[in-house]
Amino acid sequence: MSSASVQIIQAVMLLLFAPLAAGFISTCKARLQNRRGAGVLQPWRNLRKLFKKEVVMAHHASWVFRFTPYIVFTATLMAASVVPALLVDTPLSLTADVIALVALLALARFFLALAGMDIGTAFGGMGASREMTFSALAEPAMLMSIFVLSLSAHSTNLTTMITHTLNSPFALHPSLAFAMVAMVMIAVAENGRIPIDNPTTHLELTMIHEAMILEYSGRHLALLEWAAMVKLLLFSTLIVDLFMPWGMTAQADLTGVAIALGLWMVKVAGLLFVLAVFETSMAKLRLFEVPEYLSGAFVISFLGLLSYYMLEVGA
Amino acid sequence: MNTAIILALASCSMALVAALAPLFLRQPVAQRTGLSLLLAASGLLAMIAGICGLILGGDALILPLGLPWMPMHVRLDALGSFFCLVIGSLLLPVAIYSQGYLRDETRLTSLAIFMPLFVLGMLGVVLSDDAFTFMLFWELMSVSSYFLVTFKHENLENRKAGFIYLLMAHMAGLLILGSFAVLYAAAGSFEFSAMRDATISPFWASAAFLLAGFGFGTKAGVVPLHGWLPEAHPVAPSNVSALMSGIMLKVAIFGFIRVCWDLMGTGDFQWWWGALVLAAGSSSAITGVLMALQQHDLKRLLAYHSIENIGIILIGLGLSMLLAHFGHPMLAALGLVAALYHTINHALFKGLLFMGAGAVLHSTGTRDMESMGGLIHRMPWTAALFLVACLSISALPPFNGFVSEWLTFQTALMAPQMGGALLTAIVPFSAAMLALAGALAATCFVKVFGVVFLGHARSEVAASAHEVDNWMKVGMAIPAVFCLLLGLLPVLFIPLVDRVPQLLLHASLADSIHAHGWLWLTPIDVAHSSYSAPIVLIGMLVLGGLAFWLLHPKGRTIRRSVMWSCGNPHVNARMQYNATSFSQPLRRIFAGIYRPEEELRIERSRHKLLADSVHYAVHVGDMAVQYLYQPIGKLTLYVAKLLQHEHQRGIHAYLAYTFITILFLLAVYI
């Protein structure tokens, strides 16, 4: 197997498994709430249904509204194909480092917010305003937590950062613990999960992501929903990559990739299960408590940075 | 004499000819065409001179002008060439744009005289090689731009803004003069070559640094010295605002680099200089963007964004100063390249944004975002080009703003340990502030584009807006293309910028930049970090095209219907989110910084539960104006009042004043 083929397998895998991951979370939540649930495949069925349906657009929707689903989908997919999941050194991982990865997701969000404002409903503007506000607070926290790892690896390339973690002896670094807590908090916020936003609600006055895509229908909506699922899986993979990359393969041989695939699925499933438990046991935050949550994440990641300088640099 | 400096002088003389042209051209049409043509030629020449100077190297020259014992020294080195390029690359499109923008203007004479003089001043500052020439052109730049700010002097607002601008520009000029005085005392000559060779004690070096920092900082709009900027930029004609924000602020950055890096040299740097510049940069970046978010005057909002971007440039410069002081010339070179790259990027996208704002103003007659909306349908070209600038300034790939912010991030992250732990921790903290500023800028430009161009028209003028003419479209298209090219092919452009650190730091990024071909941007080496904008763009085009091709039903049009309105048939344009409501969450989150003055009035005449009308007003003032400028102004007035009666004495008293002054001066100088 060449590394290019593993790269393609990886990207297609993230794309195809993303609805399954979403289905997995909702099934876990259903079981935790003593329900049977609709099954792991339900998001796939929803997508198929949406792809078949006709698109209806408002009279004065501009080309921004029409092209946004494609831009959001491709930017998210591009970001997903940059993140190594199985092989440490994939050809595309050099294309964009972590900072560029965050920027690609920001590009998707920028257009999503614009599309929310294009129709001119109060809901769209509300969603756009809130999404951009909260992500503006989340982004520095996310970069800070990544910087903690970048500083010890002397790199912002994901491949180099993963290799650094794999090659250094296992030790409990306080800075990494802080960074991971912050990163998980940000991942929850960025993906619009409880306690920040509830992905299963429509027409709540506190909704964020749903408010922006309220006007979309048919294949446009399917692309946006799919992109959101890919983003969730992308963040899970990123957390796995940065904080527990053990098991990822350096060579593109069949056994190595198979083992890496198995371990990746176990690790991601574990993360998603934890998310389901949290979502079941927690209520949504009030809207104006979200900034406190996000600044909490920022402070935690900054503590990680300080503890890196004070405790670990000399050692 | 080599080609580059001849071209640069030709560019200056073209600007001079343009300034003299109104003597012969009296018709507005002729004045407008002459102005645009000559300035475009001047811009093109400056651009070519800059590129030639960077590739071939420049030359020094003594012009037989000026005072008899002090001829003008001009010199085009790498630093000057780079800023020549910055000036030219925005001047050319702005000149083309002016041809369309000034079409309806009947009294053009003052603009046609002072705009070329303003350009001449900026070019002269960049070319000057002695303190006297520098100050002469600097003052020419400041004074002529005052007349441009007060072009529409019949409005009280414009005269007020002009006064504040003139006052602060002269305060800045005085501080810069002080800085040169310190350097003159050490060198014994006004020539820059003598200042370079002179040794200066650490105390006087710091004095010169502080004077230059505050002087150039005032001109560049560093917080809290920015008070003039949000007043002057909105009231100037939009083509002038584009030049003022795009280039004039950069000339101040040029002056700062010239004095600190070149005339004093990296050997004189002290650690707190870099820390101070870094702190000033971070605070400007955050304050600028936070204030911008609360504006609803389009041009005022853009003015605050200039403060933010100057902050980003200063973050790069501050990092470079720190790294140079602690002996890492390679990384210092990276920081300097990042700052310079952002300098040209900001000139391009901010020029484009001001031109776009001018197009909207030209078409609707208002700068108030609350009465715009839906302009994308009536001004499709302006909207698309404005969107390019929005994406660039929000640091989104694959445009140019992202490249320079990425380079700044890399400098901050690659910085090794310096000094104490606290100093080392400031560096990544400033990177986090940069991230916050970038994300808030994206928020702000979603607001700008969303409120101005998307949604429904909020007023009659917005509903009847029209697209601008071809001159203005071309003027806006040129910087948009540059924004994309500088974002896609940084590897081809950085070797040009790299000449500046070669001159100032004797360090070059050329080896690491060229190591992996034109496709990959690798500032240090490939294991540290890499970014390839062309692959990102091609990947997105292929994937997006594929998705569109697979999903789009052939031969069928999309069904259009009314928008979904919760079943309420009476939806109007006022129900949309506007600029004030969009920034409401941030106003609430950062209430401690903004201290908004809110006023809510609900009239209930029929029943206590039935509101007849609701009136809401909010005002966010600038803290610096409130807590710094106004107390100083009040103090000045108070002192003036105390001294008032001294003015009303007879002629004897005035003779006594003169006598005492002469005695004092004699006592000091002899």
What is the reported pLDDT for B26?
86
Shortest Cα distance from A37 to chain B (angstroms)?
30
For testing the chain B interface, which of A52, A114, A308 should be mutated: the one with the most B CBs within 10 Å? A114
Q: Are A144 and B432 in contact (CB under 8 A)?
A: yes
Burial call A57-94: b when 16+ CB within 10 Å, e when fewer: bbebbbebbbebbbbbbbbbbbbbbbbbbbbbbbebbb
Q: Are strands B559-561 and A56-58 parallel, antiparallel or unpaired?
A: parallel
Which chain B residues are within 8 Å of A118, Cβ to Cβ? 450, 454-455
Looking at chain A from residue 95 to 134, which residues have their Cβ under 8 Å from any Cβ of chain B? Answer: 95-97, 99-100, 103-104, 106-107, 109-110, 113-114, 116-122, 124-126, 128-130, 132-133
End-to-end CA gap in chain B = 44
- Each residue of B133-189: pLDDT tens digit? 999 999 999 999 999 999 988 889 999 999 999 999 999 999 999 999 999 999 988
Q: What is the DSSP letter of A251?
A: S
**A202 at interface of B, judged by CB pairs closer than 8 A:** no
R_g of chain A computed on alpha carbons:
19
Q: Are B531 and B406 in contact (CB under 8 A)?
A: yes
Q: What is the DSSP letter of B268?
A: G
- Each residue of A288-311: pLDDT tens digit? 889 999 999 999 998 998 888 777
What is the reported pLDDT for A68?
96
Is A125's CB within 8 Å of B589's CB? no
Shortest Cα distance from B486 to chain A (angstroms)?
16
Give which of A240, A281, A290 is closest to A264, Cα–Cα.
A240
Give which of A92, A131, A124, A139 is closest to A228, Cα–Cα.
A131
**B590 at interface of A, judged by CB pairs closer than 8 A:** no
Comparing A28-37, B35-44, B215-224, B521-530, which segment has the lowest mean pLDDT?
B521-530
Return the biggest CA–CA distance within chain A.
64
CA separation for the pair B391, A103 (Å, rounded): 11
Work out the pLDDT band at A203, boundaries 50, 70, 90: low
| List of residues 6+ apart from B279 with CB closer than 8 A | B318, B426
Strand ranges (DSSP E) for A168-289?
none
Q: Are strands B70-75 and B559-561 parallel, antiparallel or unpaired?
A: unpaired
Mean pLDDT of chain B: 91
Nearest CA in chain B to A160: B527
Handedness of CA B408, B409, B410, B414 (dihedral sign): positive
Shortest Cα distance from A107 to chain B (angstroms)?
6
Check residue A55 and give left, alpha or beta (phi > 0: left; psi -120 to 50: alpha): beta
Question: How many Cβ atoms from other residues are within 10 Å of residue A20's Cβ?
Answer: 17
CA separation for the pair B571, B588 (Å, rounded): 28
Q: What are the Cα distances from residue B151, in Å, to A150, B31, B164, B219, B239?
A: 52, 16, 15, 20, 12
Question: CA B247, B248, B251 angle in degrees (round to 5)?
Answer: 90
CA separation for the pair A224, A237 (Å, rounded): 20
Shortest Cα distance from B85 to chain A (angstroms)?
28
Asked whether the predicted pLDDT for residue B68 surpasses 90, the reply is no
Is B576's CB within 8 Å of A125's CB? yes
- Domain spans, chain A: 3-312
DSSP B621-649: --HHIIIIIHHHHHHHHHHHHHTGGGGGS
Quick one: tokens of B66?
Answer: 């000026």
Is A129's CB within 8 Å of B581's CB? yes
CA separation for the pair B187, B202 (Å, rounded): 15
- B582: nearest CB among A110, A129, A309: A129
Nearest CA in chain B to A149: B413
Shortest Cα distance from A30 to chain B (angstroms)?
30
Work out the pLDDT band at B240, boundaries 50, 70, 90: very high
- Rounded mean pLDDT of A165-173? 82
Quick one: tokens of A224?
Answer: 């946006």
- Each residue of B538-573: pLDDT tens digit? 999 999 999 988 888 776 778 898 888 878 878 888
ipTM more than 0.90? Answer: yes
CA separation for the pair B616, B578 (Å, rounded): 13
Measured in degrees and rounded to the nearest 5, phi and psi for residue B523 equal: -65, -40
**B583 at interface of A, judged by CB pairs closer than 8 A:** yes
Nearest CA in chain B to A304: B425
CA separation for the pair B467, B363 (Å, rounded): 7
CA separation for the pair B123, B254 (Å, rounded): 11
What is the reported pLDDT for A130?
92
Is A114's CB within 8 Å of B446's CB? yes
Work out the pLDDT band at A314, boundaries 50, 70, 90: low
Q: Are B489 and B403 in contact (CB under 8 A)?
A: no
Looking at chain B from residue 207 to 246, which residues have their Cβ under 8 Å from any Cβ of chain A? Answer: none
Handedness of CA B418, B421, B422, B428 (dihedral sign): positive
Which chain B residues are within 8 Å of A310, Cβ to Cβ? 421
What is the reported pLDDT for A75?
96
Comparing A54-63, A282-291, B249-258, B435-444, which segment has the lowest mean pLDDT?
A282-291
- B374: nearest CB among A60, A103, A130: A60
Handedness of CA B120, B125, B127, B129 (dihedral sign): positive
What is the reported pLDDT for B647?
77
Looking at chain B from residue 113 to 152, which residues have their Cβ under 8 Å from any Cβ of chain A? Answer: none
- Each residue of B625-646: pLDDT tens digit? 888 888 998 999 999 998 888 7
Rounded (to 5) percent helix, strand, coil in chain B: 70, 5, 20
Quick one: tokens of B420?
Answer: 């104490």
Work out the pLDDT band at B668, boundaries 50, 70, 90: confident
Q: Are strands B70-75 and B60-67 parallel, antiparallel or unpaired?
A: antiparallel
Question: How many Cβ atoms from other residues are within 10 Å of residue B194's Cβ?
Answer: 17
- Each residue of A97-155: pLDDT tens digit? 899 999 999 999 999 999 999 998 888 999 999 999 999 999 999 988 998 888 888 88
Q: Are B221 and B253 in contact (CB under 8 A)?
A: no
Which chain A residues are within 8 Å of B387, Cβ to Cβ? 64
Shortest Cα distance from B469 to chain A (angstroms)?
22
What is the reported pLDDT for B83?
96
**B577 at interface of A, judged by CB pairs closer than 8 A:** yes
Q: Is the peptide bond before B523 cis (omega within 30 degrees of 0)?
A: no
**B575 at interface of A, judged by CB pairs closer than 8 A:** yes
Length of chain A equals: 315
Work out the pLDDT band at A315, boundaries 50, 70, 90: very low
Which chain B residues are within 8 Å of A287, Cβ to Cβ? 585
Is A139's CB within 8 Å of B394's CB? no
Which chain B residues are within 8 Å of A62, Cβ to Cβ? 376-377, 454
